[in-house]
């Protein structure tokens, strides 16, 4: 039984969500809070398996409530349940960067209620499984690093894949990596209306050039580029320059953009590519990671203990493709050392 706490200042929303959960045999609503302060009191007393948080609440808003929960429990799944207003969207993205596991938009009208109900219940179940299985206590996977080949060239490109739980992992990884003298290209599975906000907030957080990639853009060192929504992003080489191009091909792994498409296109160009696979559902990135390794590149994956969902990184690890497994900050330090010295740091990850 998945035990759920909801915090929302709207009695109507609390009542509707309570009715959705009451109809499910495997879910139980153990607490309802009218604001963030009450949510913190109930969380400490009830120890729920999943928390559903509104963004805009009196006394203590959802982002501040999230921060206080994360200070005491870094692993409990937290779903932000917010309206898609300008303010709500900005705060939702801020909450994802602060460690929210996922988000579900509130229904705009009763016409869309069933769709939102199905989405929220599916997210609760998906996020609760690793928590109930004890993911927070799961041992880190031991990976035997592939030997460093003498004379191997330094990496020239970093490609990153992320999905559910990815924004927080991305922020931590990129902050630990710092500014490096090579380009970074990211596929983050996220709703289109959140992508621009995520890119803007990461740019402010990191103080560097972060943007959504343009079709035909020349890739430059020191920049971070995100795949746009609803198209694949590929790398090509024109006159010795790396160029980002759009593709309207069919979805891969039900994803568009797909990390497999980006990773595969980067790997075959002859540059030593570093692939990083962060938290996310599904297996997107696993096939592309195998292409990176086959062409002499290296792959790093987020560990289960720090992942909201260990689908994408777990798929890469299970295939024996990774150089090392670690938290986003561990991976950032390793990749930085690899870029600057040619060898990854000896961060303990077992």
Catalytic choice (75, 189, 232, 271): 189
Tally DSSP H helices, then E strands, for the chain.
Answer: 11, 15
330, two tokens:
């561990």
Q: Which of 54, 61, 284, 303 is catalytic?
A: 284
Distance between CA atoms of residues 42 and 342, nearest Å: 50
Which of 114, 107, 126, 111 is CA-nearest to residue 49? 126
> Would you call 193 a catalytic residue per the annotation?
no
Q: Has 189 been annotated as catalytic?
A: yes
Q: How many CB atoms neighbour CB 23 within 10 A?
A: 10
User: Which of the residues 82, 95, 101, 163 is marked catalytic?
Assistant: 163
Q: Is residue 239 among the annotated active site residues?
A: no
∠ Cα 266 269 271 (to 5°): 85
Query: Using an 8 Å Cβ cutoff, are 301 and 280 in contact?
Result: no
Helix (H, G, I), strand (E, B) or coil at 334: helix
276 — alpha (psi -120 to 50), left (phi > 0) or beta?
beta
- Dihedral sign from CA coordinates of 246, 252, 169, 201: positive
Element (H, E) at 324: strand 324-326
Q: How many CB atoms lie within 10 A of CB 262?
A: 28
**Residues involved in catalysis:** 163, 189, 284
């Amino acid at each position: 039984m998945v035990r759920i706490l909801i915090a929302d200042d709207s009695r109507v929303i609390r009542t509707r969500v309570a009715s959705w959960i009451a109809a499910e045999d495997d879910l139980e609503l153990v607490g309802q809070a009218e604001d963030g302060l009450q949510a913190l009191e109930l969380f400490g007393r009830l120890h729920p398996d999943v928390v559903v948080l509104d963004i805009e609440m009196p006394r203590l808003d959802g982002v501040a409530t999230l921060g206080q929960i994360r200070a005491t429990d870094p692993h409990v799944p937290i779903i932000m349940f917010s309206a898609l207003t300008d303010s709500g969207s900005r705060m939702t993205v801020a909450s994802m960067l602060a460690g929210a596991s996922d988000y579900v938009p509130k229904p705009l009208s009763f016409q869309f209620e069933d769709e939102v109900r199905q989405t929220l219940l599916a997210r609760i179940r998906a996020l609760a499984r690793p928590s109930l299985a004890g993911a927070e206590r799961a041992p880190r996977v031991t990976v035997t690093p592939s030997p460093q080949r003498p004379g191997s060239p330094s990496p020239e490109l970093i490609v990153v894949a992320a999905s559910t739980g990815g924004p927080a992992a991305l922020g931590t990884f990129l902050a630990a990596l710092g500014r490096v003298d090579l380009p970074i290209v990211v596929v983050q599975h996220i709703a289109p209306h959140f992508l621009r906000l995520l890119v803007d907030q990461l740019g402010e957080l990191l103080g560097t050039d972060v943007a959504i990639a343009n079709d035909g853009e020349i890739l430059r060192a020191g920049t971070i580029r995100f795949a746009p929504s609803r198209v694949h992003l590929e790398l090509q080489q024109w006159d010795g320059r790396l160029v980002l191009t759009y593709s309207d091909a069919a979805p891969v792994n039900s994803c568009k953009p797909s990390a497999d498409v980006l990773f595969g296109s980067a790997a075959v160009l002859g540059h030593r590519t570093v692939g990083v696979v962060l938290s996310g559902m599904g297996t997107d990135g696993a096939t592309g990671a195998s292409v990176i390794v086959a062409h002499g590149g290296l792959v790093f994956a987020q560990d289960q203990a720090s992942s909201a969902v260990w689908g994408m990184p777990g798929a890469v690890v299970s295939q024996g493709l990774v150089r090392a497994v670690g938290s986003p900050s561990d991976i950032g330090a390793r990749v930085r050392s690899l870029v600057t010295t040619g060898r990854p740091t000896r961060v303990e990850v077992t």
